[in-house]
Amino acid sequence: MDVLTALSNKSDYSRAQLQLIVSAWILSGLAEKQSKISLHDGDVAEDDYDKRSLYSLLYALYRSMGEVRDEKGERYEFTFNTWGYTWPEAWGPAPPHQQDPQRYGRNAYSGLYHFEQVKKYVAERNGQVHVVEMGCGTGAGAHHVCKNVLPDCTYEAVDMQSAAIRTCERKFVPDLPGRLQATCSDATHLARPRGFSDFVAVNETHVTELVGVVTDEDDRFFRKAHAMLKPGGFIVWGNAIPDPTWDACFGFLESIGFKLREQNDVTEEAVRARDEDKARIDVYVDQCIEAFHGFKIPGVGAKKRALADVALKNFARNPGTKLYQNMVDRTDTYRVVLLEKMR
Ligand SMILES: C[S@@+](CC[C@H](N)C(=O)[O-])C[C@H]1O[C@@H](n2cnc3c(N)ncnc32)[C@H](O)[C@@H]1O
């Protein structure tokens, strides 16, 4: 069983199914010559995983763990699949929730709307704007924005992962009747009227990952954003991606009718967030690993436990991992950008 490629984004695996899947992955270690996961820093090569399988596993895991405790004993459900950043001083006072276990994720979503041009646009419409988020995960950020950032908006949260959208429907949609809609779809396949949305939000969505190139999927992703936006509407986009990929994307986006209005580099703040969040991630990963019996299988259990530990921490860009180091040495830079649809 290769959990990095074999799972389906259309499934929402139960805890019992996850126990079987994890045990099968552990036992497959008996015949494995070399692991795809680096034991040293959790690195997994792009070609060695399929994002549909990876996120299917992660969202089923988050849901099956339910409420957990952070390092201080505070209860929360892991719903922000977001690295985020500490609030940049230059942006003024930090938003509330700075004691929340998932505050860096909340900051990342608040940060998408910190631009003066965005605030003016929203104020001119008395707050009544529509947002489509492409790659919303569980919808935790969508809920945060509807509650705390754009309290009069309507919002469609879209993700290709069934398990994530089911969490959104269970946990967030009922709290925002008539305002938040959750849609399970590959965002590039959405069929929506042209020019109907004020904002397209893209927060750490797993696209634009290849160094210095705009892939076919990226091309379809941005063209879809363009089609859905009103003229004068905005893409608000934050992520840590390979540094040369930003310029490649900006060139492409300008070629299809966008203008780059502003960009802020928050890589330092993103590294600081990962440093400050390390204790919570360590405790969370321990709780996840303890929950799966297969890791107690003698011999191979311990080996796979170490791999699962470092892989989960790498996805969280925890200090000591490859993805963390990529931000420290600026192989990946975290930027928050504003693009306006001009034509
Ligand atoms: C790192 S997670 C971030 C999720 C969420 N934005 C957050 O910050 O918690 C990346 C997300 O991108 C989603 N994604 C990647 N490509 C997508 C696509 N083409 N359509 C919809 N979702 C996509 C994945 O399913 C995953 O949920």
**pLDDT mean for each 10 residues of the chain (343 residues):** 88 93 89 88 91 94 97 98 98 96 98 98 98 98 98 98 97 98 98 97 98 98 98 98 98 98 98 98 97 93 94 97 98 98 97
How far, in Å, is the centroid of ligand 1 from the Cα of 205? 4
Q: Pocket residues for ligand 1 (CB within 6 Å)?
A: 51, 55, 80-82, 134-137, 140-141, 158-161, 164, 186-188, 203-207, 221
CA–CA separation, 245 and 339 (whole Å): 16
**Alpha helices, DSSP H, located in the chain:** 15-28, 51-65, 103-111, 116-124, 140-144, 162-167, 216-228, 243-255, 267-290, 300-315, 322-328
How far, in Å, is the centroid of ligand 1 from the Cα of 52? 10
- The verdict on residue 4 lying in a domain is no
User: Is 107 found in the same domain as 175?
Assistant: yes
> Among 159, 189, 203, 332, which residue has the most ligand 1 atoms within 8 Å of its CB, making it the best to mutate?
159
CA–CA separation, 126 and 223 (whole Å): 28
What value, to the nearest 5°, has the Cα angle with vertex 203 and ends 201 and 207? 100
pLDDT of the residue at 285: 98
pLDDT of the residue at 164: 97
Q: How many domains does the chain have?
A: 2
- The verdict on residue 81 lying in a domain is no
Closest to 304 measured CA to CA, from 53, 1, 56: 1
The DSSP secondary-structure symbol of 300 reads: H
How far, in Å, is the centroid of ligand 1 from the Cα of 214? 17
User: Is 95 found in the same domain as 130?
Assistant: yes
21 is in which domain, residue-wise? 15-73+277-328
User: Is 28 found in the same domain as 174?
Assistant: no
Reported in sequence order, the residue ranges of 164-255 that DSSP labels E, i.e. its strands, are 180-184, 197-203, 229-242
Q: How far is CA 44 from the centre of its chain?
A: 17
- The verdict on residue 8 lying in a domain is no
pLDDT of the residue at 47: 86
pLDDT of the residue at 33: 79
Token representation of residue 219: 């091309």
pLDDT of the residue at 173: 98
Residue 209 in contact with residue 46, Cβ under 8 Å? Answer: yes
Token representation of residue 69: 């405790």
User: Is 311 found in the same domain as 246?
Assistant: no
CA–CA separation, 59 and 76 (whole Å): 15
User: Is 240 found in the same domain as 150?
Assistant: yes
User: Is 258 found in the same domain as 217?
Assistant: yes
Ligand 1 nearest atom to the CA of residue 59, by list position: 27
Instruction: Compute how many other C-beta atoms are within 10 angstroms of the C-beta atom of residue 250.
Output: 17
Ligand 1 nearest atom to the CA of residue 109, by list position: 8
User: Is 212 found in the same domain as 120?
Assistant: yes
Q: For residue 101, with 0-12 CB atoms within 10 Å meaning exposed, 13-18 middle and 19 or more buried, which class applies?
A: buried
> Among 131, 200, 206, 228, which residue has the most ligand 1 atoms within 8 Å of its CB, making it the best to mutate?
206
User: Is 337 found in the same domain as 314?
Assistant: no
Token representation of residue 294: 């297969």
User: Is 66 found in the same domain as 121?
Assistant: no
Token representation of residue 22: 């994890």
How far, in Å, is the centroid of ligand 1 from the Cα of 33? 32
User: Is 201 found in the same domain as 313?
Assistant: no
CA–CA separation, 132 and 134 (whole Å): 6
User: Is 286 found in the same domain as 235?
Assistant: no
User: Is 336 found in the same domain as 194?
Assistant: yes
How far, in Å, is the centroid of ligand 1 from the Cα of 161? 8
Place of tokens 């409420």: 67
Q: Which residues of 184-222 are buried (b: 16+ CB within 10 A; e: fewer)?
A: bebbbebeeeeeebbbbbbbbbbbbbbeeebeebbeebb
- The verdict on residue 1 lying in a domain is no
CA–CA separation, 330 and 267 (whole Å): 8
Closest-CA residue, ligand 1 atom 16, reads: 206
- The verdict on residue 9 lying in a domain is no
- The verdict on residue 50 lying in a domain is yes
Closest-CA residue, ligand 1 atom 6, reads: 136
Residue 141 in contact with residue 109, Cβ under 8 Å? Answer: yes
> Among 78, 160, 315, which residue has the most ligand 1 atoms within 8 Å of its CB, making it the best to mutate?
160
How far, in Å, is the centroid of ligand 1 from the Cα of 98? 24
Question: What CATH number is given to the structural domain containing 179?
Answer: 3.40.50.150
